[in-house]
Amino acid sequence: MSDSSIIDWIALGLMPGLGNKTILQLVERFGNPDAVFTACQKGGESCSGIKTRLLTSLSSPDPFRKQADVLLRRLRSGGAIALCPEDTDYPFPLKKIADPPHVLYAQGNIELLNSFCVAMVGSRAATAYGKRAAFTLARDLAGEGATVVSGLAIGVDSEAHRGALSVQGATIGVLGCGLDVIYPRQNAKLYEKIRTEGLLLTEYPLGTKPDGFRFPARNRIIAGLSRGVVVVEAAKKSGSLITAEMAMEEGREVFAVPGQIDSFKSSGAHWLLQQGAKLVQSADDILVECGSGLTGASDVSVGDAALPAHSIDKESAELLEKIDVYPSARNELITRSGLSSAKVAELLLMLELEGLIEMLPGDEVRKIQK
């Protein structure tokens, strides 16, 4: 595609008051962005229905074309590109959704845009269980050749990206801001790793701030890129459920990881299961349902992920066997083990230092499985 064409697409997006849906409608009506500008410059009946304020901008596109040219040069100097629906690299599944982005700004491995993608979303305030489930599933999916798509938020999103990267797998981070804006700041290292080893993607031009209203719109890209969306932990009213609903509307598969029945952070995932979402215990549940054609993933379930090897003594190992992944009181553990309170405290400290257990408020303890 010529530079002039992509500049025209970008210019449309820079015009105030012109949203993505309106841009797509105008292009469908006139054929391409340049034809939109030409028709509006001529005026007449062909421009009927276009608001006067928009018509003024559309009939004088040169200032916006200059801005778009500068933006495109800045993108390319930083190793990024811009894609419009006419580009062969523009992801085909995304092109088919009801409201595809008129421009995609991308940096990293562009080939991932048309790979076998699975989205993973969930709570920003995820529990240790939710983080572990996201990491494990993403690791296994990426290990079998799937591309893990998420939103680079803290919590479930971050663990999904990290899980994929842990096996040198593919991952796409879809941003609700410009490519040059790192949000949240605590994910700066993860952002850089995805930029160099995966792909960063957004519909927003450089410099766009992460305003709250941009994230629901961002979610349609996450859903649109993917064969299926996996909800790990989510409350009933959450962005994750918005993504799942968008996926259902676009005919994508929807999956949910079950959590504790009394956890409000899993209430949205449980509601999805009641509505017919597929229950996920392992990556195979996702790959088989999506008809990936990829080789079988690990059949180790989320709750039974094997513990890494640690050099702990026999007493500690025996006590660890008596600790569940769900919280239990220390007094119950003392009773079950038959050990003294002081000995249990000593062994729990050792296990905590090894990263095998987590001490919780209320003097409770639970096993950590990675």
Average pLDDT over residues 125-134: 90
Instruction: Output the pLDDT for position 298.
Output: 47
DSSP 244: H
Question: pLDDT-based confidence at 207, cuts 50/70/90?
Answer: very high
pTM of the model: 0.82
**Distance set, CA 20 to CA 8, 52, 323 (Å):** 14, 18, 52
Decide if pLDDT at 1 tops 50: yes
Whether the per-residue pLDDT at 245 is higher than 80: the answer is: yes
Residue 250 in this model has a pLDDT that exceeds 70: yes
Give the whole-angstrom CA distance, residue 138 versus residue 120: 8
Which own/partner contact pairs does 17-25 have at CB distance under 8 Å and 24+ positions apart? Answer: 17/51, 17/53, 17/54, 17/57, 18/54, 18/57, 20/99, 20/101, 20/102, 20/203, 20/217, 21/99, 22/54, 23/102, 24/99, 24/100, 24/102
Assess whether pLDDT exceeds 70 at residue 337: yes
pLDDT of residue 292: 64
pLDDT greater than 90 at residue 273: yes
Tens-digit pLDDT profile for residues 350-360: 888 888 888 88
Q: How confident is the model at residue 172 (pLDDT cuts 50, 70, 90)?
A: very high
- Please compute the mean of the pLDDT values over residues 134-144 and round it to a whole number: 96
Cα–Cα distance, 37 to 301 (Å, whole number): 56
Q: What 8-state DSSP symbol labels residue 306?
A: P
Amino acid at 303: G
270 Cβ contact list (under 8 Å, min separation 6): 256, 258, 259, 261
* Per-residue model confidence (pLDDT) at position 297: 45
Spatial separation of the C-alpha atoms in residues 3 and 81, rounded to whole Å = 11
